[in-house]
Amino acid sequence: MPNSALASCLAVLATNPMDRAKTIMQLPGVGASWGKNMREVTMNMVKKEGALRGLYRGLPVAMVRESSKNVFRIGLFLPVLKVIHTDDDNPAPAWKRFMAGCLSGGIGAVSSNPFDLIKTRMQVPAAMCEYENGMVALKKICAKEGWKTLYKGVGASVMRDMLGSSVNLTVQSIASEALVRNMILSPGSPVLGALSGVLSAAASVAVMQPIDTSRAYVYLKPHIHKDTIRAFRYIVLREGPLALYKGSRAHFFRTAPHYAAMFALLE
């Protein structure tokens, strides 16, 4: 379990710029002014805030968020799978992997939700952010909004990570086994972990993005969007169904290298 937390922390070092670009693109009424795509948003982040501050704003909180999530999300996947699949002679079917991913992902979502909320608020444009760092954010949120705010959107986080983790870990494990079985790559190869991680990222983003966008609205404007279902309806009715997928390209370009690095390190 500690290895999964460490691997995810190291992966964030490479993917934080894409993660922040995704958050800015999801900002209601603001994202478009920063650019039409991830490239333009990233360039404006550097131009307006500087390379280091622009690309790595919110990095410490992002690292805590990843470690608190993946220590359970990935760390519990195989132990849970071994409980529900006791036949060591045959590989676990996809539905059992899906169930194990759902459970481990849900637990990871609950443990990381406070840091997810703080990270999202820290990643908005510097001029809009009222927090100097993660500790200041934690204190101000608890003082002004109450500690329960830290679990705002936790239902959406659980749903998102149950879906995302089940798809991610199922696709990754099946792809990894298939690549080894067909003698394309050897077990323990970092390339094996990286390739299976990228394949699983595409599937994960497809199912997570609508929930991710709706949850971002709740995190950033909780006084307007009371819950994820209302935010979802607002986006569909006001901006159109395709708006649920805004930032999806940035999400993939953040998730693919993140999973590639993480599973390569774990391999």
SS3 content of the chain, % helix, strand, coil (to 5): 80, 0, 20
Q: Count Cβ atoms within 10 A of the Cβ of residue 38 and give its class: 0-12 exposed, 13-18 middle, 19 or more buried.
A: buried
CATH of 2-266, one of 1.50.40.10, 3.40.30.10, 3.40.50.2000, 1.10.3720.10: 1.50.40.10
Amino acid at 13: L
Average pLDDT, the chain: 89
- 98-150: pLDDT as tens digits: 999 999 999 999 999 999 999 999 998 888 888 889 999 999 999 999 999 99
The rounded distance, in Å, linking the Cα atoms of 175 and 214 is 30
Per-residue confidence (pLDDT) for residue 6, from 0 to 100: 81
Is the pLDDT assigned to residue 1 strictly greater than 70? no
Biggest CA–CA distance in the chain, Å, is 58
The vertex-32 CA angle with 27 and 34, nearest 5°, equals 90
Distances (CA, A) of 88 to 51, 71, 104: 50, 25, 21
- 167-216: pLDDT as tens digits: 999 999 999 999 999 888 888 888 999 999 999 999 999 999 999 899 88
The rounded distance, in Å, linking the Cα atoms of 16 and 2 is 21
Lowest mean pLDDT segment, chosen from 4-8, 37-41, 118-122: 4-8
3-state secondary structure of 27: coil
Highest mean pLDDT among 5-9, 26-30, 107-111: 107-111
Residues across the chain = 267
Q: Give the pLDDT mean for 35-41.
A: 88
Assigned token pair, 191: 């390339």
| pTM of structure | 0.80
The answer to whether residues 37 and 249 touch, using CB atoms and an 8 Å cutoff, is yes
More confident residue, 213 or 4: 213
The rounded distance, in Å, linking the Cα atoms of 225 and 229 is 9
Q: Give the pLDDT mean for 237-263.
A: 89
Is the pLDDT assigned to residue 31 strictly greater than 70? no
Is the pLDDT assigned to residue 23 strictly greater than 70? yes
